[in-house]
Structure 1
Amino acid sequence: MNNESCCVVSCEKPLDQEYWDAQYKANATGWDLGLVSPPIKTYIDTLKDKDIAILIPGCGNSYEAAYLLEQGFTNVTVIDIAPTLVKIIAEKFITNTHIQVLLGDFFSHKGEYDLIIEQTFFCALPPTMRQKYVWKMHELLAKDGKISGLLFNRIFEVSPPFGGSQEEYELLFKHAFDFTSLEKSNNSIAPRSNSELFFEFKKNSTTLVNLYEFEGITCSGCMDTVTKKFAALNDVLNVSMSSNFAEVLIVSNREIPLEELQTIVSYDEKYKIKKITK
């Protein structure tokens, strides 16, 4: 990615299936490295069990998947929302029985995986979806499952990609995952040098991770008030609200009754909370 800019369609448009398919139809894939990302390659080389179930969401041209198969891994699944891309990938791996190529929305996907590899999927999502990302990753991982890969440690003037910081990620994933590693990548490709964090997070299976729709908040001050009220509840470990105030992620040691959450915010009749089910 020479300038880390990939938009050929107006970025005011939704980043939906139509948008991403247009990128592949136009061959406007500036994020594509043309090879397996070196930090992820190094990580794959440390994996001993070749039969673990592995998922790569937003798989792109699937260099990481190809490398996994070359190394003898037997249970790889890739998923992407762009039909043009998925057709190409399915044909590429048509004779390989160790990989499943899926067209679909990651957030509707069902399954259980020992490892999920993150490579330019998180940064392609609107930041409003980051709480949903944590929730879905936790759901899809098996007990003691891991998510590992790369996150950008910088902000972009043109998006996607959408960047972030180590501090933001620590707050976002806290208590839903145990942090095995979150540090500056020392072998990124030159254009991304000093701008990537390599991470490995292990699912915290002892906690409950729930996502809720939230209505009524229109400012960050109100968001702070509501999240602090939720965070003050017994057994609540972490609370995070999406940047558009539409979803709230709650990590806890026990199931918090919806009625209890609604009562807490009933001081404002506009505030409504509804649990998102899996």
Structure 2
Amino acid sequence: MNTTLQLSRLLFAAAMIALGVTGLVNGDLALAWQQIPVHYLPARTTIAYACALIELALGIGLLLKRTLPSTCRVLFPYMALWLVLLEVPGVALAPQDVGNWGSFGEIAIITAGAWCLFAGHSGIGGTRRLGFAAGPGGIRAARWLLVVALPMIGVEVIVDAVNAGNRVMQPWLQWWPSPMGWACLTGVGSIATCLALLFGVWPRLAAAVEAAMLGAITVAYWAPDLYTGRTATTALIISFLITASVWLVADTYRNVPWFARGRPVWNT
């Protein structure tokens, strides 16, 4: 188990800490990303504070060698529950809504990142009982989850761009030629990354470029809007968390040459 603090884990931990702090300050969940499907849920505020404390503790735990294994054992189930309990109902109730699929894809990517941490740092290893979730089997499964999730966010971006036209960009980015075209290009990029990972065409490079693209979007699209308050702040944190998660998956290819070919995701 390599406990060296990689930049991808540092960014993931920082985003989790920021998400926890934001939850404690606002006394609420992370807007659309933690939308509870049951309206007027009793003790909603208590649940929000509990989630914020968990996220804060998980973020801190990822930074320390001593707490890293136990943190990863909690982080992955926590994110899996977040995905299943908060995102699956929206898709099931309105499967025709592209936004629901995009939201599912975003949390699925974060779950893939958490799965990589669990597979590599939980200390469980690829035992017969947990071979699908830990060790090499867990890494392979996390890559599969990323492959499934990337087209969801890619298609959502393209649909939103087409619907919004050249108004899809934030006001400070309107000077770009054809904002809709650039937005669609990022969506196509996510789909292309999915295909590259699926068929083993430069997978390490594809995942790294996807992480870099998402990071650039996070900084350019959300950072200048922070002064507007909670929505932009939460969006920035979640976007950084998604970026870090793709980066964590990209790090699982660190022993693969940048221009390696012929290693599809089911054979890695």
Q: Is the TM-score greater than 0.5? A: no
- Report the TM-score, using the length of structure 1 for normalisation: 0.24
Higher strand share: 1
For the pair shown, which has the larger CA radius of gyration, 1 or 2?
A: 1
| Higher helix fraction (1 or 2) | 2
